Amino acid sequence: MATQAGPKPAETEHRPIAISLPRAVPPILTAACLIAAFWPILTGMYGSWFDEHAYMEHGILVMPAAVYMAWANKDRLLKIVPAQSAWGILLVVWGACQALLGIAAQWVWISRTAFLVSLTGCILALYGWRMIKELTYPLATLILMITPPTFIFDRLTLRLQLLASRLGETTLEALGYSVLRQGNILEMVGIKLSVEEACSGIRSLLAILFMCVLYNYFFVRGRSMKALILVAAIPIAILGNAVRIIATGIAGQYNPALAEGAAHEAFGYVSVVAAAVGCVAFHLLAARIQKEWRRRHA
């Protein structure tokens, strides 16, 4: 009589236990290490945003703006399959060497841009080239939180000072006011206007460029139109600052106290707002012209 075999005893096997880490852990650890490595450079960059001689007040808004740009595109970013690239490690090493060189040679701009190089390398190493392509615009925006190199900054400031002085002199004379210009100093009846570095337009120029970068990302389509708006922002910012000088000169003829102090600072903020509005108006006009040209040549 056949007997039914009972159940075989379970075989004991020693298998390695696979530990799956959440997807968020590697980027968080990488970000923590990157911030720790560049902490002295980042604190120096943060301090420059509040240095009245650096004219980088907008710098504190650049990082949140870049993060929001990436967040607004999160649906496309989440669909990207991570494809790690060894080129990212090379960029991280390059950024580290660049930072050491900048610190040793006291090249502030070199050491600060090294952070962006290493940040790009970390993203490339974790997610691959497709992620870099999608984040190109936000990453490029981060350059605006770094003060331009000193030699470029000084030359640009001096030229803007003289240009603003000439524009102010010409316009005030055209309006019937008596003006004597000596370099960057405008002498009018009862007042003397000195176009200092802060009044050169460099502050408004950097702020307007940042505003245009944000405006381009959310409201402008087409690379050529975006480039056109960025280029147009330069003369618009210069004209806006010239209007500030003209308004200060005219107001000073009626009340000399308006040519300095809080009123003078208020004219500066108004000129930035006016330049921003001018950039938007330029985009609307350029878009209308482009649409009309396409309609006629369709």
pLDDT in tens, 161-176: 778 888 888 888 888 8
Contact 208, 233 (CB under 8 A): yes
Ranges 28-42, 95-109, 134-148, 197-211: which has the least confidence: 197-211
Evaluated on CA atoms 159, 60, 259, 176, the torsion sign reads positive
User: What is d(CA 18, CA 146) in angstroms, rounded to the nearest whole number?
Assistant: 44
Residues 171 and 215 occupy one common structural domain:
yes
> What's residue 17's pLDDT?
38
3-state secondary structure of 193: strand
Instruction: Assess whether 196 and 281 both reside in one domain.
Output: yes
Distance (Å) of CA 119 to CA 26, 86, 94, 191: 14, 14, 11, 51
Residue 10 located in a structural domain: no
Yes or no: say if 126 and 26 are a contact pair by the CB < 8 Å rule. Answer: yes
Tell me which residue has tokens 């952070």.
115
- DSSP strand pairing (180-182 vs 185-188): antiparallel
179 and 113, same structural domain?
Answer: no
Three-class secondary structure of residue 298 per DSSP = coil
Distance in angstroms (rounded) separating the CA atoms of residues 289 and 187: 42
- 157 lies in the same domain as 252: yes
Among 85, 112, 147, the domain-final residue is: 147
118 falls in which pLDDT band (50, 70, 90)? Answer: very high
CA-closest candidate to residue 70, choices 120, 121, 136: 136
Paired with 191 in beta bridges are 188
> Which domain range does residue 87 map to?
25-147
Question: How far apart, in whole angstroms, are the C-alpha atoms of residue 163 and residue 169?
Answer: 10
Q: What 3-state DSSP class applies to 33?
A: helix
Are both 156 and 273 inside the same structural domain? yes
Angle between helices 223-254 and 202-219 (to 10 degrees): 140
Whether the per-residue pLDDT at 14 is higher than 70: the answer is no
DSSP label of 57:
T
**Residues 98 and 165 both lie in one domain:** no
Average pLDDT, the chain: 82
CA distance 238 to 236: 5
Identify the pLDDT of residue 16: 42
Q: How many domains does the chain have?
A: 2
Residue 8 lies in a domain: no
Whether residue 200 contacts residue 241, with contact meaning beta carbons closer than 8 Å, is answered with yes
Q: Which residues does residue 182 pair with via DSSP β-bridges, in sequence order?
A: 185
pLDDT at 3 over 80: no
At residue 157, does pLDDT exceed 70?
Answer: yes
* 115 in the same domain as 42: yes
